[in-house]
Amino acid sequence: LCCGINTESLPPQCVLTGKWINDLGSTMTIGAVNGEGNFNGFYHTAVTATNNKIKVSPLQGSQQRTNQKNHPTFGFTVNWTFSDSVTVFTGQCFVDENGKEVLKTM
C-alpha cells in the first residue's frame, strides 16, 4: 500500500476513516478511530503470492494523535483470511497539492 487515496468526499484533513485504494487496486476500509487512536477495518488485496482465492481480511490499527503539522502516523496489521500470514504496515497521512488525502506506507 504505497499511496492510498481516500475515495470518500471528506474535507482534506488526514482522517483515516473511510475507503482507500492504492496504486495496485487493493482497497482498505477503516472504521472510526476511537479516542485512544485505535481502529478496525477490512483490507481487500488485489495481489497475492498464493494460489488461494483472495478474500477480504480484517485489520486492526492505531493512530498517533495528530501532530502539529496534521500528518498523523499510524500502523495496522492485516490478518489474511486466505493464507497463513499476517502483514504489518506503518505510515503517515498527508494532504497533497490537490487537496487529496494520501497515505504513504511501508
**40 to 30, 88, 97: CA distances (angstroms):** 6, 14, 29
Assign 22 a pLDDT band (cuts: 50, 70, 90): very high
Q: Which domain does 40 fall in, by range?
A: 18-105
Q: How many domains does the chain have?
A: 1
Measured CA to CA, the distance from residue 51 to residue 74 in angstroms comes to 30
6 located within any domain: no
CB 39 within 8 A of CB 25: no
Higher pLDDT, 19 or 98: 19
7 located within any domain: no
Q: Is the pTM of this model over 0.85?
A: no
Q: What is the pLDDT of residue 15?
A: 86
* CATH code, domain with 57: 2.40.128.30
Mean of per-residue pLDDT scores for the chain: 86
pLDDT of 14 strictly over 60: yes
Instruction: Match 511501508 to its residue by C-alpha cell.
Output: 106
Percent of the chain topping pLDDT 90: 59
42 located within any domain: yes
pLDDT tens per residue across span 50-71: 888 999 999 999 998 765 667 7
Measured CA to CA, the distance from residue 30 to residue 104 in angstroms comes to 15
67 located within any domain: yes
Exposure string over 74-91, b if 16+ CB within 10 A, otherwise e: bebebebeebeeeeebeb
pLDDT of 2 strictly over 50: no
Instruction: Match 496534521 to its residue by C-alpha cell.
Output: 70
